[in-house]
Each structure stands twice: as C-alpha cells, then as structure tokens.
Amino acid sequence: MTESHFCTACGTPIADGNAFCTGCGAQVKAPPATQTPAQVLPAPTTAPVAVPAPASGEQILTIIGGLTLVAGFMGLKQKSYTLIITERRLVFAELTKDKITAAVNAARDQAKAEGKGFFGQWGAQIGSTMTHSEAYWQMSPDAALAETPGNWVIERSQFQGAKFRIGATDENTSSPDVLIIKAATGKWKFNVQGSLSSVKKRFKEAGLA
C-alpha cells in the first residue's frame, strides 16, 4: 500500500515518491526518516572466573599414633607421642596427661551416650589415645608443633633411617615392638602400640622406608 503525506505549501495529498505537489507544483520535501531507536545491549552478565588460590603450607602424608618414647636410665622416662609425617618434616606431638584425661573422659561419655555398658565404656577409654591422633589431620603441622611445649621436629633432610624391631614374648617376659628413628641430630627409640607392620607401611608410603 502506497503511503501518502501532505504538501507543506497547499495541503494537497502527495503520494509517496512524488517529487512535486500535483496541486501547486511546489517541490516536495522528503519526509523525515523514521529513526529506529538504538538497541541497548545489556551489560555482560558473565561473572569473572574464580582462580583457585595457590596451595600453601605443607601436606600431611601420614599420622602414626601410639608411640612411646623410651629414654633415661633403664628406659624409665617415657612419653607418648603422635608422629605427623609431612613432605618436609617429622613432627612429634606429645600426648600429655591432660590430653590423655580429656580423651579418656570424652570417649567414656560418648560410649555412655551410645548406651554402652561398663565394658563398652572401658574399651572406648582404652582406644581413646589411639583415636586422639586422628585430630591432627584437621590441624596444620605448625599448629601441631606449637600445641604443646614438649613437641619437637626432625627435618626430612636430617632423617637417616628407621628400624622396626618385633618384640619378643616367652613364658617369663614380654617386650613391645620397637621403632628406632635415626637422624643427623640424634637417635630415638619408641615402643609401638598397635601394629608394627602398619607403622612400617606408613613410613614406606611417606617415602621414609
């Protein structure tokens, strides 16, 4: 359909495309072009890609609980430790009397809450010192080292080897399994509670045996 408009001089209708008015002959001015509103593009909504922060700190490779350091004359000085082996060092976290008491009480209360009787509570208390070491998976090695004044460390660069000695048992005597750690800074003997083969396996997995 042909679109028309009017002459600005005389008002005669003018068909679209005519250059002159058919009524007065005046030159027809081209109608103003219809302006299409500029399309407004929405702002980009893509969120910036999150770049993971670089990993920091040292990685814990394994944790070994139930180690008793034997020292002094006739091995009379004994302290319990949890060994935390990382990619950089061996951290020895002492299981103090206060920690033992807290772990035993917590295990007893947990067993009691689960409805266990005397023997169930007693068994939970016995195993509490072993399960206590699992808490170090949630701590940084630096935090574990600073936890107790008696804690200490051996750098892996100073580590020289470990020996695993099976205890002897006969009719009259019984001796525990033993772990001996040698480093450039000294030599330490630990009685092992639990499985010696498991301790040896963990040393091997950590690259120390």
Confirm whether 84 is domain-assigned: yes
Confirm whether 118 is domain-assigned: no
Cβ contact 28:18 at 8 Å: yes
Residue 86 has pLDDT above 90, yes or no: yes
Q: Domain total for the chain?
A: 1
Instruction: Assign residue 154 the CATH number of its domain.
Output: 2.30.29.30
Confirm whether 123 is domain-assigned: no
Rounded percentage of the chain residues whose pLDDT exceeds 70? 68
CA separation for the pair 176, 189 (Å, rounded):
12
Q: For residue range 22-47, what is the model confidence (pLDDT) as tens digits?
A: 767 667 666 555 555 555 555 544 44
DSSP class of residue 9?
A: T
Confirm whether 18 is domain-assigned: no
CA separation for the pair 64, 193 (Å, rounded):
10
Question: Which one is predicted more confidently, 89 or 7?
Answer: 89
Task: State which residues form the domain around 192.
Answer: 60-99+130-205
pLDDT value at residue 195: 93
Confirm whether 192 is domain-assigned: yes
Confirm whether 163 is domain-assigned: yes
